[in-house]
A and B are shown apart, each in its own frame.
Chain A
Amino acid sequence: MDPEKDKPLPQTSPTSPATTTTTDDNNHDRNATATYDNNNGSSSSEHHPDEKSDQDLPQQNLGDINTEAEPEPHPDPEKADHPGINEQQEAAGDDQVNVQETAPPFSIDLKKVSEEVDQYISTVLSTSKGDESTAPPDVPSFVHQFALLIEAKIVDYESSENPVKWSQLEQEDSTSFLEATLRLSSLSKAISELSSENKHAHFVNRIGGVLQRAMSYIEEEFKSLIEDYRIHDPDHSNSKQHTSSTPNEESDENPPAESAPAEDNNFPGYSEEILSDLLRLSKAMMDGGYEMECCQVYFVARRNALEESLQKFGFEKHSIDDVQKMHWESLEREIGNWIRTFKQCASVHFTGERRLSQALFSDHPLMSENLFCSLSQGVILQLLNFADAVALTKRAAEKLFKFLDLYEALRDILPIIDSLFAEESMTEVKREASMIKGRIGEAMISIFVDLENSIKADSGKTPVPGGAVHPLTRYTMNYLKYACEYKETLEQVFKEHQKIERADSATGSDFNYQSQAAQNPNTNNNNNNNAVVKQSPFQTQITKVMDLLDANIESKSKLYKDHALSSIFMMNNGRYILQKVRGANEINRLMGDSWCRKRSSELRQYHKNYQRETWGRLLSCLHPDGLMNNGKVVKPVLKERFKSFNALFDEIHKTQTSWVVSDEQLQSELRVSISNMVIPAYRSFLGRYSQVFTPGRQTEKYVKYQAEDIETYIDELFDGSAAQMGKRRP
Chain B
Amino acid sequence: MPATDNQGSFLNRISIRRNQFIPIETCNDQEQENLDLLQRHVADRFADLLYIHSSTTTAAVTNSNSNEHSSATAAATDSPSATHDTHTHPPSPPQLLSISWFRNLLDTYLCCEAEFKAVLVSGRDPSQFSRPPLDRLIPDFLERSIKALDICNAVTHGIDLVQHWQKLAQIALTALNQTPLGEGQVRRARKALNTLLTSMVFDDKENANSNFHGRWTERTRSFGRRVGGGGGNNKDRTGGNFRSLSWSVAKSWSASKQIQTMSANLAAPRGGETTALPVYIMNTIVVFVMWALVAAIPCQERNGLATHFQVPRNLSWAQPIIGLQEKIGEEWKKKEKKGTVGLLDELQRMEKVAHSLVEFADTFVFPMEEEKEAELAAQVAELAEICQKMEEGLGPLQQQVREVFHRIVRSRAEVLDVLDQITKMSAPVPY
Contact = CB atoms under 8 A, between A and B. Distances in A.
B9 interface: yes
Interface in B140-188: 146-147, 149-150, 153, 156, 160, 164, 167-168, 170-171, 174, 180, 182-185, 187-188
B222 interface: no
Interface string A475-510: 110000000000000000000000010011011100
B258 interface: yes
Contacts of B153: 319-320, 385
Nearest to B224: A4
A324 interface: yes
Interface in B381-431: 399, 402, 406, 409, 412-413, 417, 420-421, 424-431
A321 B146 contact: yes
Contacts of B426: 453-454, 456-457
Contacts of A224: 239, 241
B386 to A, nearest CB: 17
A363 to B, nearest CB: 19
A69 B35 CA distance: 88
A474 B431 contact: yes
Contacts of A451: 429
Contacts of B174: 292
B170 A304 contact: no
B367 A216 contact: no
A280 interface: no
A224 B218 CA distance: 12
A260 B160 CA distance: 37
A521 interface: no
Given A14-B365, A378-B160, A504-B417, A208 B182 contact: yes
B110 to A, nearest CB: 17
A75 to B, nearest CB: 32
A279 interface: no
Interface string B329-362: 0000000000000000000000000000000001
Interface stretch (A5-13, A55-63, A678-686): A5-13
A343 interface: no
Nearest to B220: A2
Nearest to B223: A2
A4 B150 contact: no
Contact of A16 (B147, B149, B183): B183
Contacts of A303: 245-246
A550 to B, nearest CB: 15
Contacts of B272: none
Given A5-B240, A301-B243, A320-B150, A475 B429 contact: yes
B90 interface: no
Contacts of B428: 454, 457-458
Contacts of B238: 220, 223
A205 B185 CA distance: 9
A318 to B, nearest CB: 5
A14 B367 CA distance: 11
Nearest to A396: B427
Given A8-B235, A201-B367, A209 B244 contact: no
Nearest to B156: A381
Given A292-B174, A392-B412, A398 B430 contact: yes
Given A304-B246, A504-B417, A204 B15 contact: no
B258 A321 contact: yes
Contacts, number: 215
B358 to A, nearest CB: 12
Contacts of B236: 8, 216
A15 B239 contact: no
Interface string A409-450: 000000000000000000010001001000100100010011
Contact of A296 (B171, B241, B421): B171
Contacts of B309: none
A307 interface: yes
B399 A428 contact: yes
Given A300-B245, A317-B248, A324-B146, A2 B430 contact: no
Interface string A197-212: 0100110110111111
Contact of A475 (B156, B192, B431): B431
Is chain A's interface secondary structure helix, strand, loop, or mixed overall? helix
A301 B15 CA distance: 54
Interface stretch (B68-76, B249-257, B276-284, B315-323): B249-257
B415 to A, nearest CB: 13
B146 A209 contact: no
Contacts of A532: none
B425 A449 contact: yes
B124 interface: no
A213 B156 CA distance: 36
A320 B149 contact: yes
Contact of B235 (A9, A204, A507): A9
Interface string A235-250: 0000000000000000
A1 interface: yes
Nearest to B160: A378
A454 B429 contact: yes
A388 B185 CA distance: 46
A303 B171 CA distance: 20
B184 A7 contact: no
A455 interface: yes
B15 A507 contact: yes
Contact of B232 (A10, A207, A453): A10
Interface string A349-386: 00000000000000000000000000000100110010
B53 interface: no
Given A4-B232, A475-B431, A210 B184 contact: yes
B19 to A, nearest CB: 8
B89 interface: no
Contacts of A455: 429
B209 interface: no
Given A204-B180, A303-B245, A455-B429, A322 B250 contact: yes
A91 interface: no
Contact of B429 (A10, A210, A458, A503): A458
A196 interface: yes
A317 B250 CA distance: 5
A205 B180 contact: yes
Contacts of A392: 146, 149, 409, 412
B240 A476 contact: no
A677 interface: no
B248 A208 contact: no
A454 B427 contact: yes
Interface in A212-244: 212-213, 215-216, 220, 223-224, 227
Given A293-B192, A321-B146, A321-B258, A2 B409 contact: no
Contacts of A292: 167, 170-171, 174
A578 to B, nearest CB: 19
A660 B119 CA distance: 57
A471 interface: yes
A253 to B, nearest CB: 20
A316 B250 CA distance: 8
B243 A317 contact: no
A5 B235 contact: yes
A4 B365 CA distance: 21
6 contacts: A9-B364, A13-B364, A14-B365, A16-B183, A209-B183, A508-B420
Interface of B: 9, 11-12, 14-15, 18, 146-147, 149-150, 153, 156, 160, 164, 167-168, 170-171, 174, 180, 182-185, 187-188, 191-192, 195, 214-215, 217, 220, 230-241, 243-246, 248-251, 253, 258, 362-367, 399, 402, 406, 409, 412-413, 417, 420-421, 424-431
7 closest cross-chain pairs (CB), A and B: A208-B184, A212-B184, A205-B182, A208-B182, A457-B426, A471-B431, A475-B431
Given A8-B235, A318-B250, A322-B250, 14 more contacts: A12-B363, A209-B182, A212-B188, A216-B236, A223-B241, A227-B241, A304-B246, A392-B146, A446-B420, A450-B425, A451-B429, A453-B425, A507-B11, A508-B421
